[in-house]
Amino acid sequence: MKRRSAEGIRGSFSMSAGWLFADLLLVLAMLFLAANTMGIHPPPPAPTPTPRVTPTAPPLAQLEQKYHEFTVHVDRQAFLDGDAAAIRSVTQQIVNQPFLQGRSAGLVVAYGTDTSDCTTAYLVAKHVYKLVKQIGQNNVTFQKTVDYTQLCNIRSDINQITIDIFLFAQQGFQ
């Protein structure tokens, strides 16, 4: 009897090993199938850089670091009232400055003059800026000017206007 039971154990063990092997193959097949269906996709190819076309701009205009200061003499009240002779006088005094010959003005800073209250002096400076813009319509020297805020000098002679002009730098010079 002992023989039978040993054969039974051996038989049931080999039967169990067969089923275990079949189950193992089934699990491996499922893992293989799952791995291939979910798969890792390769990263998308890197985009090729598009060449940038940068337009070549003309060199930036620079102002000289030194300004030119001069004083204009005029009857202040006549200038503010729009008197043609006073406006012509201021125009001539501005345009005929020797340092402006063959150059281009960039920044204009005007100071009206007053004895204590700057209100009228600011108005004079504002009129100077307006006049410089008008001059620039016919005179290439003043076509690219930018004006600054109205400023005031406290002096006894109210018929003076101080003007500072920064010129555009000449090529190769500063």
In the prediction, which pLDDT does 137 show?
A: 95
Instruction: Please state whether beta strands 160-168 and 63-73 pair in parallel, antiparallel, or not at all (unpaired).
Output: antiparallel
Residues 6+ apart with CB under 8 A from 169: 61, 62, 63, 64
pLDDT digits (tens, 9 = 90+) for 96-133: 999 999 999 999 999 999 998 899 999 999 999 999 99
| For the chain, domain boundaries | 1-38, 63-168
pLDDT-above-70 percentage for the chain: 82
Q: Based on C-alpha coordinates, what's the Rg of the chain?
A: 46
pLDDT digits (tens, 9 = 90+) for 2-34: 555 555 556 666 666 777 777 878 888 887 777
Q: Domain spanning 63-168 has what CATH number?
A: 3.30.1180
In the prediction, which pLDDT does 174 show?
A: 43
- 84-95 and 119-136 helices cross at what angle (nearest 10)? 70
Global pTM exceeds 0.95? no
- DSSP class of residue 166 equals E
